[in-house]
Structure formats: C-alpha cells, structure tokens
C-alpha cells in the first residue's frame, strides 16, 4: 500500500476544506436529491442519517425528505464510557428541537427523551467518511465508530455512503475490520 490511512485522511480532508460554501451547498443538494429519488430510499421505513459538520456532505435535505414522506429517521450519538466509545442511534421527529450540540460541536439527538433504535430495525444507513474507493472501501475519521456500528445491522440493511467526487480515490487502505459500503453516491457518480 502506498498511502497509510492517516496520509489519506490528511490529503482528502485538506482537499475537502478547499470547497467553497457555494460548492458545498450545490453539490450536497444534488447528492441529497439522488438519495431521495433512489429505490433504496423509497423502500426504507427507518433511515439512519448523520448530521453533517465542517465540510461534509450536508444531510438536511435527506432528513427533511425522510420526515416529509413519513419515514422514521434516526441520528447517531457518540456514547462514551471511559475508554469505550460507540455509536448509539435515537429516533428524532423534529430536526430543530430534538438535537443539541455534542462531541466536536456536532448536533446529536437529545437521547434522554428519545426512542433508542436497535441496529436491527434500520433499513438504510447514510454513512459519512473521509475517503472512499471504487471497491467501495471506506476510510473514516479513525475511531472505528462506524465500523463497529455497521457490523450489527441486520442482513439486507443498506449502507450507502455520500461523498464529494474529490473524496473518491482509486484505492484506499483497508483492514479486515473495515466494513464495505453497498453504494457510494457523489454529485456525479454512483459506485
């Protein structure tokens, strides 16, 4: 392997931080539309979607689209217990009032008064990440949070990553614990 994961993260995050607000918004709109118009989305009753921060693909369109078409929507929360960190999922009904700032300033569900979703209930996960490749391998931020969460999904639950074109590489470093995506959607491609 030519690049380590940390080199890949550095390189792609630098490129992504160079996108302007107009580029981020217009590309995110295209990506959200593609998700909302997909058969996988149409068939999903419960969607787990991340809340974007910094220059990630903006997910507001997906969350609003899911709620307005009567779907259940869950958001992840980083649960910390000593050294143990993992993702939990909670169902929200109101994207303005059911969230608050959590780890790193990312909006998280108000867990104490919301329904805790079991991983096995989810039909579609919208997965964030730093870098992806044409084999649908994924490099995230380096905590293994999504790798551990995604391994508990029911068989048949779809794992769809969304990313900008600049986040797609020919090949990213992959380890045995890295969970492959079922699809990756960018503003111009579907992988």
Ligand X SMILES: Nc1ncnc2c1ncn2[C@@H]1O[C@H](COP(=O)(O)OP(=O)(O)OP(=O)(O)O)[C@@H](O)[C@H]1O
Cα 122 from chain centroid?
A: 14
CB-nearer residue toward Mg ion: 99 or 161: 161
Provide the minimum distance between the beta carbon of 8 and ligand X in the complex, in angstroms, as a whole number.
9
Provide the minimum distance between the beta carbon of 42 and ligand X in the complex, in angstroms, as a whole number.
27
CB-nearer residue toward ligand X: 74 or 140: 140
- 147 contacts Mg ion (rule: CB under 5 A): yes
Provide the minimum distance between the beta carbon of 94 and ligand X in the complex, in angstroms, as a whole number.
27
Closest by CA position to 114, among listed 83, 143, 75, 86 = 75
Dihedral class, residue 58 (left if φ above 0, else alpha if ψ from -120 to 50, else beta): beta
Q: Which residue(s) pair with 3 in the sheet?
A: none
- 148 contacts Mg ion (rule: CB under 5 A): no
- 178 contacts Mg ion (rule: CB under 5 A): yes
CB-nearer residue toward ligand X: 99 or 125: 125
- Contact residues for ligand X (CB under 6 A)? 5, 139-148, 151, 175, 177-178
Say how far apart CA 138 and CA 171 lie, in whole Å.
10
Say how far apart CA 172 and CA 133 lie, in whole Å.
6
């Amino acid at each position: 392997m030519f690049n380590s994961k940390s080199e890949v993260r550095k390189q792609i995050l630098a490129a992504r931080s160079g996108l302007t607000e107009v580029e981020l918004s217009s590309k995110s709109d295209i990506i959200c539309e593609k998700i909302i118009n997909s058969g996988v989305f149409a068939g999903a009753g419960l969607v787990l979607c991340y809340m974007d921060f910094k220059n990630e693909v903006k997910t507001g369109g997906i969350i609003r689209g899911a709620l307005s078409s009567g779907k259940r929507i869950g958001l992840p929360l980083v649960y910390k217990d000593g050294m143990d960190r993992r993702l939990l999922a909670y169902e929200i009904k109101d994207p303005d009032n059911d969230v608050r700032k959590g780890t790193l300033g990312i909006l998280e569900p108000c867990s104490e008064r919301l329904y805790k979703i079991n991983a096995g209930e989810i039909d579609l996960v919208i997965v964030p990440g730093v870098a992806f490749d044409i084999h649908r391998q994924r490099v995230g931020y380096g905590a293994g949070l999504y790798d551990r969460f995604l391994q508990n999904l029911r068989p048949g639950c779809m794992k769809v990553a969304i990313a900008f074109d600049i986040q797609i590489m020919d090949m990213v470093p992959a380890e045995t614990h890295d969970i492959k995506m079922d699809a990756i959607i960018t503003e111009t491609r579907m992988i």
